[in-house]
Structure 1
Amino acid sequence: MSEPAAPERPRGVLVPLALAQFICSFAGTNMAVMITDISDDLNADVGGVQTVITLFLLIMAALMIPGGKLTDRYGRKRCFTVGLSVYGVGAVLSALAPGLGVLALGNSVLEGVGTALLIPPVYILTTLLFTDTASRAKAFGVVMAMGGIGAAAGPLLGGLIASGLGWRAAFAFQALVVAAILISTRRVRDPIPADPSRKLDLLGTGLSAAGLVLLVLGILAADNDLRWSAVLIVLAVLVLAGFFLHVRDTERAGGDPLVSMSLFRDKVSNIGLVTQLLQWLILMGTSFVVSAYLQVVRGYDPIGTGVIFTAATAGLLVSSLSAARLARRFDQRTLIMSGFGVVLVGTVVLIVLAGSTLNPWAFAPGLLLIGLGLGSMLTPSVNVVQSAFGADQQGEISGLSRCVSNLGSSLGTAIAGTILVAGLSSHGYAFAMLTLALAGALGLFAAAELPTGKPLAQR
């Protein structure tokens, strides 16, 4: 099946796609600065709010691959609009939540399911509508920039809204943005017709979702009961092993599994997926840990905490919007390695501040470095993965890519957050940030295994 020519691409089609990535990323981090407000209003503890945040990220991760597969059966635009609608309902329900349970239903479940439906079409449509390497790199740069900015700006915007109008208004803001995106979807055209004959692997979906849920719940349980945590993690490993055996057997029998094993046979793509997981683990882990530490331990209000995060936002904005220009000068391996190196320095700076009585703005240099490092490598990592496969596999690889990124986000909040919540002190903060620094080091070593390529200007 041939790809559509670039001239057929409608003007402004990238706007709703980039805004969708922005609001989903915003949703993942804005609650971090409202922890104390939500806890007090709903009579919950910090661990309960952490669980709601983590479950939102986890449900996205667990359903992202099925979401990508559904685009083939029902069409990319239809999944995009349905996902936006479900997300909008969840945002409204969260704004009206009388207790933590309803907040979990609206934020964790409905917004998580909506995101899993709408995000794969964002990346599939970007890949299919921007067909040449240069324009695709620029388009991914815009989408990833909006995603990074949404994640980094979540604390600032969330803090401003929560301080001025209350935490519920932050969810009303999300609903308004989703409504605006739905209106703008008239620009979106699906370049490939839907294929109603494609079936969803229900058993594979159940096994993969159950395995990921058990894994993250096992991590969250570590601060209360290590034995129960170990049991859950072992069960997660067994269920995920069963998932991969099911996929292998289904593929050998000529069936259509949830995810093709061929997606894991490309070494470069595999390394790209690892770097994506670690990038989002660091971003979301840093957002939760620093926000919770400043509010719960240092006693800063949501707006004060959010303002401090402008440093990370600025770093992400500058480096993400420079992605296309950087890609013309440096190869993707260099950009990803440099990004992890800068992030590593930033986390070390934040660790040094543990227990310090310095002004909270002393956190800005470390957050700025983390923002700069992450922004410079988010786009290359996505491009490495997406460009490794043809149009016929974009639904699968997009779902897998987003699944890995969101799994990284949920792991970052679960692992670093659990370490912090287990001991809300300067020592807990230092150990949590040390965990994120180790993730940065792993990313640096992984990126070093990528092949040396050429900048776009030399291709």
Structure 2
Amino acid sequence: MTAPPVPLLATARAPARRTGLILAACCVSQFMTVLDASVVNVALPVIADELRFSRAGLQWVNSAYTLAVCGFLLLGGRLADLYGQRRMFLCGIGLFTAASAVGGFAGDPALLVMARAFQGLGAAVMTPATLAVLGTTFTGPAERARAYGAWGATSGAAGAAGVLLGGVIAQWFSWRWSLWINVPIGLALFAAVRCGVPATPGRDRVRLDLAGAATVTLGLMALVYGIAESPARGWGDPRTIGSLAAAAVLLAAFLTLQARPGRQPLVPLGIFRNRTVSAANLVAFFSIAALFSTFYFLTLMLQQVLGYSPLETGLSYLPLSLGIAAGGFGIAPHLPRLGPRPVLLTGLTAASCGLLWLSAAGPDATFAADLLGPTLLLGVGMGAVINATTNAATHGLPVHQAGLASGLLNTTRQLGSALGLVVLATLSGARISDGLAAGRNAVDASSAGYGLALSTAALFTAAALPAALAVPVRRGSRPSRGGAPKLSA
């Protein structure tokens, strides 16, 4: 028998003067975790030379982080529900900060990869806690839309800002500062959360589903590992096949465990009967597959085709970062009235057009004529989409499932980014190889390959449109006093 949900207003209502601090803490936390997924990219060649990474081993500087984040997000979200949001928020910050300090001092590849894995574990605990805290602090539709808008804009902009910061660090400082920069931020964030975020009680009568936690964590890690290894080893390699087969078995076992009656499941499968939650997660999968793959291929295009320096590459991401922030913040006041469906449809269409426009940039492209417009359009569209999906994916759920919904949404995004990058890298690499085999020079062949990747990313955003149509619309223009506006098909 499960424990009744803890009343929302009795546990998570923060004084009005604290809400600004809570929002800032959640946004800074999300910025820090997303930033770390991209900030080291620009410095990878320097890291490889200094620590003597092998060519195959270098990818694990990023893959170890992604693997841990994706594998533990669902567990991290459930821990926030069971043991208290602030408690798990603080645990995540502490682990992430300590791992960042250790990674900055790494003198060999193994220690750096291990530190990145523990960073990912800290992020997996911290990220769902931030959304859960926002959901239980900002209870009105309008204020929740603004809070999620800030969180979503921060999340999207952090990926682009990571390239900018990585370029600055790579050009003027040691690569180690891409990790050490988290230490003072983490310490300040720990103090802010400890003082500003109200404690929420755990659910002592609900036990953690250890079997479910083990199967889903190992299954997701095996899935991401198989996807990450496939570009180098090929889909027919025994290691790739074995990883994907293990993932299928473990995830099937997880679903079987969750469906058994009389259990206290890690993920109650009834959550997927909420059409808004299911559709929003599909939109998140395809849209983030497009956005985070764009960070990778746009960086390569700027440096290898247009000849930009790391710093110039980072500065070129400013319109994209500002566009994401503008889209997320700009749509927030209107989201409770419009509902998520029209916002998703408009944002996905704008992002798709921006990606198609960007894919046409060639070796003679200029920033003002060929990059500024499409990156702004992409950013504004994606900012609106991130805000709307965050709202929709947590709509209508009780407070004791806030962490679960957050973990589910972020797991979906991580899977989208991992799978999207593999698909686009495969297509791009084949186009580049064909171009070189046909006698084209490296710049022209690379331009064609990266252009194909960006145009295919536009198809990812278009693929999210049917899921956006499945999101119910708002009934009426004004939210009810008791909570979120009702939805209808």
Q: Which residue of 1 aligns with 2:253?
A: 242
CA deviation map 1:347-393 (0-9, x unaligned): 1122212x533235633332222211110111111111112211122
Q: Contact 1:288–1:417 (CA<8 Å) still a contact in 2?
A: no
Structure 2 distance, partners of 1:275, 1:174, is 31
| Paired amino acid for 2:313 | T
Q: Which moved more, 1:54-63 or 1:122-131?
A: 54-63
Distance 1:196 1:296, change over 3 A: farther
CA deviation map 1:155-190 (0-9, x unaligned): 112211221112211211122211111121233344
Q: 1:303 aligns with which of 296, 311, 315?
A: 311
Distance 1:326 1:34, change over 3 A: farther
Q: Which residue of 2 aligns with 1:76?
A: 85
Give how far 1:295 is off. 3.2
Q: Which residue of 2 aligns with 1:325?
A: 333
Q: Which residue of 2 aligns with 1:117?
A: 125
Q: Which residue of 1 aligns with 2:73?
A: 64
Structure 2 distance, partners of 1:455, 1:100, is 57
Q: 2:209 aligns with which of 201, 221, 232?
A: 201
Give how far 1:43 is off. 3.4
Structure 2 distance, partners of 1:188, 1:428, is 49
- Residues 1:359 and 2:366 are matched in the alignment: yes
Q: Contact 1:351–1:434 (CA<8 Å) still a contact in 2?
A: yes
Structure 1 distance, partners of 2:379, 2:314, is 14
Larger Rg: 2
Structure 2 distance, partners of 1:387, 1:96, is 43
SS of structure 2 residue aligned to 1:30: coil
Give how far 1:149 is off. 2.1
Q: Which residue of 2 aligns with 1:101?
A: 110
Q: Contact 1:277–1:407 (CA<8 Å) still a contact in 2?
A: yes
Give how far 1:238 is off. 2.9
Distance 1:374 1:47, change over 3 A: farther
| Paired amino acid for 2:255 | F
Structure 2 distance, partners of 1:31, 1:445, is 35
Q: Contact 2:258–2:269 (CA<8 Å) still a contact in 1?
A: yes
| Paired amino acid for 1:359 | T
Give how far 1:297 is off. 5.3
* Structure number having the greater helix percentage: 1
Distance 1:37 1:357, change over 3 A: farther
Q: Which residue of 1 aligns with 2:7?
A: 2
Q: 1:450 aligns with which of 471, 483, 488?
A: 471
Q: Which moved more, 1:278-287 or 1:295-304?
A: 295-304
Q: Which residue of 2 aligns with 1:408?
A: 416
Distance 1:226 1:121, change over 3 A: closer
Two-structure CA RMSD over aligned residues (Å): 2.4
Distance 1:364 1:198, change over 3 A: same
- TM-score computed with the length of structure 2 as normaliser: 0.86
Q: Which residue of 2 aligns with 1:40?
A: 49
Deviation >6 Å, runs of 4+: none
Q: Aligned residues, how many? A: 454
Structure 2 distance, partners of 1:37, 1:301, is 14
CA deviation map 1:296-329 (0-9, x unaligned): 5555332121111112111112111213223256
- Residues 1:439 and 2:439 are matched in the alignment: no
Q: Which moved more, 1:411-420 or 1:90-99?
A: 411-420
Give how far 1:456 is off. 5.7
Q: 1:30 aligns with which of 35, 39, 63?
A: 39
Give how far 1:62 is off. 1.4
- Residues 1:279 and 2:300 are matched in the alignment: no
Q: 1:88 aligns with which of 73, 86, 97?
A: 97
Give how far 1:405 is off. 2.1
| Paired amino acid for 1:333 | R
